[in-house]
Structures are given as C-alpha cells and as structure tokens.
Amino acid sequence: MMADMLKAESYQVSCVYDGLQAIQQINQATPDIVLLDMMLPGCDGLQVLKEISPDFLGIIIMITAKKDEFLEVSALNLGVHDYITKPLRPHILSARLRALSRLNYNHVQTVSDKNLLKVQDLTLNVNSREFCLANESLQLSAAELEIMSYFMRHPGVVLNRDMLVSEVRNLEYDGFDRSIDMRISSLRRKLKDSQPPYKYIKT
C-alpha cells in the first residue's frame, strides 16, 4: 500500500524485505529517501542504520509498530530524520516526506563526487581536506575537520556530545570533557559565527 501511494506521487520506488538486503541496497543505490522498518528479518532497523555507509546523505525515516522511547532515541542518535509509528496515515507520511525533502534540498547538495560535501555556503573536500566558506579557504585543525565533516553529513540532525566524541575522537564522553565545546567555539570564530543566533552550528 505504501509503495503504491509513493508511486502515485511520482516517487521511484524500490522495495527490499530483509535487513541484509536493505544494507546492500542503500549502500549501492544511494537512494534519496529510505523508509526503514524497525522489525526487519535478518537484522533489525537499528543494525541496518549502523551498517549504512557514513557517506550516505539521504533522508532516513524509521517506521515501527512499537511505541518505545528507548528505540526512538536510539534511532535518532543513529541519524534518522523522522520516526513514525504504525498505523501509517498516507497523507501524513506524504507531508513529512515533502517537508524533509525540502530541508535536505536546502542544506545538502549531493554531487557525483561523494567526497565533496556542501551545506549552505560551506564546502568540504574530504580527500584534500580543504574547507571553504563562500569559496574562501579556511585553515582547520584535524579535529575541526572531522567535526565539520560529521556535521555536514548530518544536516538538521540533533547531535549530542556522546555522538561527537565517539565519532570524532573514538572516545567515550565522561560528562566532564569540554574539548568538543572548545573546538566548536573555535570553529564558530573561523566561520565568523560566534554570536547567537548561530547560522551554522546551533546549540
């Protein structure tokens, strides 16, 4: 039913029915939007999220029959853009897809070279590690480049310190480490965005 509704709205739809196929399809086909069921055979939706390539820049919506706050938080922490519980209401799903598509279009330009990230007027070449603000090259430290890369791969997603420390430094946040805060402050100065309301990095 959901596939028929999406096709009727001119979406190109590809369906897979287990978690392992989902991982392969997402990483190979790089779709613009993924509707991911939490309870897939083979491996569940959370495991699929963990196995998706970090280069994937599309929209991910988790769909589940379970009203479970822990699962919802886990999915959001793994990068999903929305979390919908069944039964699905087609008009609500359609409206959410349109809203998320507008957000993604405004913030991320997916280019043929997946190592080139663009968000608003920021550009990061992952291979050359060159970072530009409105075509002006900025010198960032290695840690700052990693932080910006992670931010630019997750536009519009709420990220906490645990996630940043784990992804950027491969360390666990103990509740006292403020080095992430210091690096974000440094990034804001370099972006000329050190006073609220912030344009690029909002906290």
Write out pLDDT tens, residues 96-119.
888 887 766 555 554 445 678 888
Long-range contacts of 80-87 (CB under 8 A, 24+ apart): 80/36, 80/49, 81/156, 81/157
Instruction: Please give the pLDDT value at position 110.
Output: 47
- Residues forming beta bridges with residue 60, ordered by sequence position: 34
Nearest to 79 by CA among 63, 59, 95: 59
**27 alpha carbon, distance to own chain's centre:** 14
Q: What pLDDT band is residue 6 in, cutting at 50, 70 and 90? A: confident
The predicted pLDDT at position 114 comes to: 62
Region 148-173 average pLDDT: 73
In the chain, what are the domain boundaries? 2-107, 116-190
Mean pLDDT of 36-60: 86
- Percent of the chain past pLDDT 70, that is, above it, reads 86
- The reply to whether CATH 3.90.550.10 applies to domain 2-107 is no
The structure tokens listed for 123 are 């550009």
CB neighbours of residue 121 within 10 Å: 12
Domain 116-190 of CATH type 1.10.1740.10: no
| Matching fold, domains 2-107 and 116-190 | no
Mean pLDDT calculated for residue range 142-170: 77
